[in-house]
Amino acid sequence: MTRKLWLFPLIALIALAGVSAACGDDDDDNAGSEEEIAAVEDLLTTILGTDPTDSDQVDFWLEHMTDEVIEGFFGTTRKECAANAEDCIGESTEGDRFEGTTVSGSDAQTTVYDAEGSAYTVDLVLEGEVWMVNEIAFGPAELPEGVTPVDLKLAEYNFVFDESKITDGNVGFPFENIGEEAHQIVVLKTNDAYDVDTTVEFFLDENTSEDDLPVGVDEVFFLAFAPPGASGIAVNQAPLEPGDYAFICILPDAEGTPHASLGMTKDFTVPE
């Protein structure tokens, strides 16, 4: 957990650094050869392990990122990223594995899981003889089998979904940002003492311990970051336990006001 939840988009991809180059799902005859799959996964492992303070590694990272992913996912330009790599690329943390890696001609895709079980779908394109990361989406390419989809729309400043579809905690949220600002999907497990304003103040307070939780919050799940127009699947590694929850977005608007303070929060209940 982090005090400044809007820092997640800066470190989201790099949270996968150190991912092991385990083989992808080669049971599919159309997945590509073992050599092609290994090449893509080895490249991603190197990219994800980039040290933003090492200029040579930063150059390599930039050489394997398209403008589309730099601008769409990282929210900056190639020039700005090169000039401020530590903020653009972020810090590395331990990752876990690749799943379902496929290579078809000049396109490749894989799902990467970080050490906490969060999933990210990465699409690559082959330009000449160089694989380039072209798109990153939070969540797996598809919902896991047996997980109930609850469509979620993000806008200024609300979460729109049909709560009646949440009949138990085994749910996932295929999402789309239909707004003009970036948003994040954070889920809080709450209790009777929960208060939105108190929670926002807590997350903005740099003096609180990272092991603490706001009053009224029992658990925090960061599920996704969504630039304008982005879509993906927000799903927790384990089903949500029965109880009260709230979606919340604490990214700031252009004036610096957290979105939650502008109304971007929504309570829901996971029934027994």
This prediction has a pTM of 0.72
- How high is the pLDDT of residue 140? 82
The residues, ordered by sequence, that sit 6+ positions from 201 with a Cβ below 8 Å of its Cβ are none
Neighbouring C-beta atoms of residue 129, cutoff 10 Å: 5
Bridge-based pairing state of the strands 119-127 and 130-138: antiparallel
User: Given the structure tokens 């040290």, which residue do they identify?
Assistant: 51
* Contact assessment for residue 176 and residue 231, using Cβ atoms and an 8 Å cutoff: yes
DSSP one-letter code for 84: T
Residue 4 tokens, joined: 């400044």
Q: Which residue(s) pair with 255 in the sheet?
A: none
pLDDT at 229: 87
The pLDDT value given to residue 80? 95
pLDDT of residue 97: 87
What is the structure's pLDDT at 92?
66
One-letter amino acid of 185: I
Structure tokens that stand for 51 in this block:
């040290």
> Hey, what are 1's tokens?
């957990």
Q: How far apart are CA 52 and CA 10, in angstroms?
A: 12
Retrieve residue 186's tokens: 């954070």
Nearest in space to 157 (alpha carbons), one of 184, 135, 133: 184
Note the pLDDT tens digit of each residue in 4-60. 454 444 334 433 333 333 444 444 556 889 999 999 999 988 888 889 999 999 999
Q: Give the integer Cα–Cα distance in Å for 248 and 252.
A: 12
pLDDT given for residue 117 in this prediction? 64
Residues lower than pLDDT 70 in the chain: 1-30, 92-95, 115-117
